[in-house]
Amino acid sequence: MSKLSRLLLAIASGLTLLALALPLWRVRLVAPQYPEGLGMEIRANTVRGATEHDLGSINNLNHYIGMKAIEPDEIPDLRVIPWVFAGLALFGAIVAAVGRRPLVIAWLAAFALLGVVGLWDFYRWEYSYGHDLDFQHAIIKVPGMSYQPPLIGSKQLLNFVATSWPASGSFILGAAFLLGVAALVARAPGAAAGTHHLEHAA
Amino acid sequence: MKISFQRSVVAGALSLGVIGLIYACTPRATSGNLLTGDAATRVYVAPGSYDEFYAFLSGGYSGQVAVYGLPSGRLLKTIPVFSQFPEDGYGYNEDSKPMLQTTYGFIPWDDSHHPELSMTDGVPDGRWLFINANNTPRIARIDLTRFETDEIIQIPNSAGGHASPFTTPDSKYVVSATRFSVPIPNTDVAIDSYKQNFKGTLSFITADQPGKMDVAFQILMPGYNYDLGHAGKGPSNGWFFFTSYNSEQANTKLEENASQNDKDFIAAVNYKRAEECVAQGKAKATPSEYFHNWVDSGSRTAKSEKKTSVKMISPADCEGVVYYLPTPKSPHGVDVDPTGEYIVAGGKLATVIPVHSFTKLQKAIADKAFDKVIDGIPVLKYDAVMAGEVQKPGLGPLHTEFDGKGYAYTSMFISSEVVKWKLGTWEVVDRVPTYYSIGHLMIPGGDSKKPWGKYMLAMNKITKDRYLPTGPEMAQSAQLFDISGDKMKLLLDFPTIGEPHYAQAIPASLIKDKQVKFFKLTSNTNPWVTKSEAEGGIARTGKRVDIKMIAIRSHFAPDNLEGVQVGDTVVFHVTNIEQDWDILHGFAVLGMNTSELIIQPGETRSLMWIPKNPGVFPFYCTDFCSALHQEMQGYIRVSPAGSNVKLIANISPKAQAQLNTEAQAKQK
């Protein structure tokens, strides 16, 4: 592997660590009486409000529909995810040091797999908050209504429009993955013609 | 293999770009300032011109009533009712203090909710405005020739006078129902004995005789929370409808525990039947203390009387007096359409707007279509009384008003909108957002037989970004809509005082030409009136010193007073002897522990002052009255207790001349 590939991988590992410190996903809630909106940030290790009191406000509103309170300390996944990130970063750093192509492929595969599992996990939690409602204590009960926010995009939930999008941490992770891909395909300039030849063959 | 990696780089970059684009399209809150083109001209009232309607908005926790002009939204007056009002001395001066007297003593504040205009044949007539006190249940009557509170009656056996003071079509009665059920009589019992010991009452108060409001009778009800009411009209004349919630009879965490039942009840009261039962002696005289306060028109001073008994009807002893209509869910408002046939509930947690039919109600009673009987009250079958349901109206329906053209307008608190729907077909035909979280809405005459269906006013609970921000506490916002066409159009947005709950409005022509401009001095029967400068003076009775004084542009007479001692109680009785429109005088003395007096032309007002230290204390006119307003002043000297300074009041040369003339006249 070229020096360039190793450098790209090292940067990718660094970015994976950097994503630990950034929000991965944002959920924004806007209602007529909340023109300023309420927001939540999902990070590797916690869920927090867009402002200091947003999460408290969201939980307070959710009690009307019987949704359980979002308590970051009670979501075990948030204690595991930072280690997953750290593990990926460490793995990436080792691959950069060793410089062998099969290891790069293994790193990318692990990265992609963990990404899919992460999104599935996030969806699962959204589903659980939106559907596991305490009807015994719910004040507003609308037959057939559930309150799962979308994974991506906007959705009307009673008087709120919930909008969910990846945030900077996810984009950084995406960039890290792409750098890994780039490390795999990076070649000395002389090898470029062969690539074109193969492309035609494919 | 390698190539596909290259492709994926391109695809990945593209998809990131797409996500970025979508991210930029995240919806923001819609800014609610989309006005129709001619809105400004529709609400512009040119200088010197008048508004089309008087609108009376309750002050909510200010305890007052605010009068606005519509369509301009200009504040015309604040009428003090249940709260002291230092701006004009209401509840501070000796003349009005008795108005705030209750069995709990003098109360300086209350929470005013629902203004109701007096009616003749089901149409507002502009004689009086009634309004309730929510905290310590009372009903006030405001005279609309003077825009003054003339009478307040306390409601016994009640707590939280929220379903009040809705009016019968002939104004014979105004009503009050207990929001909080309480032990009756109120005694020391365990709170968790709620189901055994707590009861509600529905009170009917005679209202058509000024100065003589009284509790005609009360109906003892199961211990639910009674929330709002409206009288029947036309075919349903003689009936009254009250919403109730907490049929669960929870005494703690009502937010949750009183939201369990899918249906609560509207209590339909046949008050003509109640009158019969009272006449037949079926109502029990029940010892109950309450105050009745009223203003004597000649002296313009308030008087109080304590009453000691009410007639209490038990539904079990007066068959046919009350029926329950099952109604989804925790209903708030109950509104009767102009024809008197439809009874619309605002089930605040319901997913439909349920409408009952008076015709079906009568049939259900005749057929005895009862689910069960609660404490002598038959519960009618929902399907037997329901006329229809408005499907998918919005979230959190609260109140409905009518335009007289076959449409109903319902406020939606949670989805923050007004929904217009058609009576009979129950179809939603229009909706508009309000800013934000509307409570009541109001159409002039919109709960009467003949609405003036031109405007609709939304009164909102949340203001946020509507006006220049003023810290955490902001004025509540109101929006005026044009409802003359098929679509509701936003015209105006204006801030209001306190927290308006309900409002009523009436064409200005029904009120404006009967306004009193001043009080005739010759008709002033106040015992402390001073009708001319020569009658002023100072007199001592033990430790009390009474000062009689006139105010006229631009002096008080007398204006130099001596002989008062520390330890005396001094009462200034000031008569404004002007007989001219809008010439008011004020009165305040240095260091007094009360508010000023504002004295209207021809009236006498009394201010009590207990000086604590010797010295000389100036007093002055607080209402800029004339070119020499700043000269309108005087002094009172206070000497130590036991001083031998003589009690004197100076007399002006003009008053001396007047006295001489009178003396000469007597000699002849």
Indicate the domain borders of chain B: 56-186+197-254+261-514, 521-667
Whether A35 sits inside 8 A of B29 (CB atoms) is: yes
All residues of chain B having their beta carbon less than 8 Å from the beta carbon of residue A36 are 29, 464-465
Tens digit of each residue's pLDDT (9 = 90 or more) over A36-85: 999 999 999 999 999 999 999 999 999 999 999 999 999 999 999 999 99
Could you tell me which of A162, A127, A155, A158 has the C-alpha nearest to residue A145? A158
- Residue given tokens 């036309």 in the structure block: B234
Per-residue model confidence (pLDDT) at position A200: 43
ipTM score for this prediction: 0.85
Per-residue model confidence (pLDDT) at position B178: 95
pLDDT of A195 > 60? The answer is no
Fold match, B56-186+197-254+261-514 / B521-667: no
Give the list of residues 6+ apart from residue A13 with CB closer than 8 angstroms, or none.
A88, A89, A90, A91, A92, A93, A96, A176
Residues of A with CB under 8 A from a CB of B: 28, 30-37, 137, 139-143, 152-154, 158-159, 161, 163, 165-166, 171, 174, 177-178, 181-182, 184-185, 195, 198-199, 202
Which of B16, B351, B465 lies nearest to residue A35, judging by beta carbons? B465
Residue type for position B364: A
Per-residue model confidence (pLDDT) at position B36: 61
All residues of chain B having their beta carbon less than 8 Å from the beta carbon of residue A37 are 28-29
Residue in A with minimal Cα distance to B253: A137
Q: For chain B, give percent helix, strand, coil, nearest 5.
A: 15, 45, 40
Tens digit of each residue's pLDDT (9 = 90 or more) over A132-177: 999 888 888 888 889 999 999 999 999 999 999 999 999 999 999 9
Whether A185 sits inside 8 A of B255 (CB atoms) is: no
Per-residue model confidence (pLDDT) at position B653: 75
Confidence of residue A187 (pLDDT cuts 50, 70, 90): low
Which of B16, B22, B417 lies nearest to residue A171, judging by beta carbons? B16
Residue B25 touches partner A, C-beta closer than 8 Å: no
Residue type for position B263: K
CA distance B576 to chain A (A): 50
Give the Cα separation of A149 and A127 in Å (integer): 8
Per-residue model confidence (pLDDT) at position A133: 94
Residue B33 touches partner A, C-beta closer than 8 Å: no
Residue B417 touches partner A, C-beta closer than 8 Å: yes
Instruction: Label residue B425 left, alpha or beta by phi (over 0 means left) and psi (-120 to 50 means alpha).
Output: alpha
Residue stretches of chain B with pLDDT short of 50: 1-6, 8-31
What's phi and psi for B483, nearest 5 deg? -120, 20
Give the Cα separation of B423 and A102 in Å (integer): 74
All residues of chain B having their beta carbon less than 8 Å from the beta carbon of residue A38 are none
Both structure tokens of B177: 């129902």
Query: How many domains is chain A partitioned into structurally?
Result: 1
All residues of chain B having their beta carbon less than 8 Å from the beta carbon of residue A143 are 351
CA distance B599 to chain A (A): 44
CATH assignment of the domain containing A130: 1.20.140
Report the DSSP pairing between strands A34-42 and A25-31. antiparallel
Distances (CA, A) of B325 to A107, B195, B314, B339, B423: 69, 21, 18, 20, 19
- Give the pTM: 0.92
Q: Which CATH class is domain B56-186+197-254+261-514?
A: mainly beta
All residues of chain B having their beta carbon less than 8 Å from the beta carbon of residue A159 are 395, 414-416
According to DSSP, the residues that pair with B85 across neighbouring strands are: B90
Give the list of residues 6+ apart from residue B474 with CB closer than 8 angstroms, or none.
B463, B464, B467, B495
Per-residue model confidence (pLDDT) at position B33: 55
Both structure tokens of B89: 């001395």
The domain of A170 spans 3-201
Distances (CA, A) of A186 to A182, A194, A200, B2, B97: 6, 13, 19, 10, 91
Instruction: Label residue B238 left, alpha or beta by phi (over 0 means left) and psi (-120 to 50 means alpha).
Output: left
CA distance A153 to chain B (A): 8
Report the mean per-residue pLDDT for chain A.
91
Give the list of residues 6+ apart from residue A142 with CB closer than 8 angstroms, or none.
A158, B351
Residue B464 touches partner A, C-beta closer than 8 Å: yes
Pick B521-667's CATH classification: 1.10.3720.10, 2.60.40.420, 3.30.450.20, 3.40.120.10: 2.60.40.420
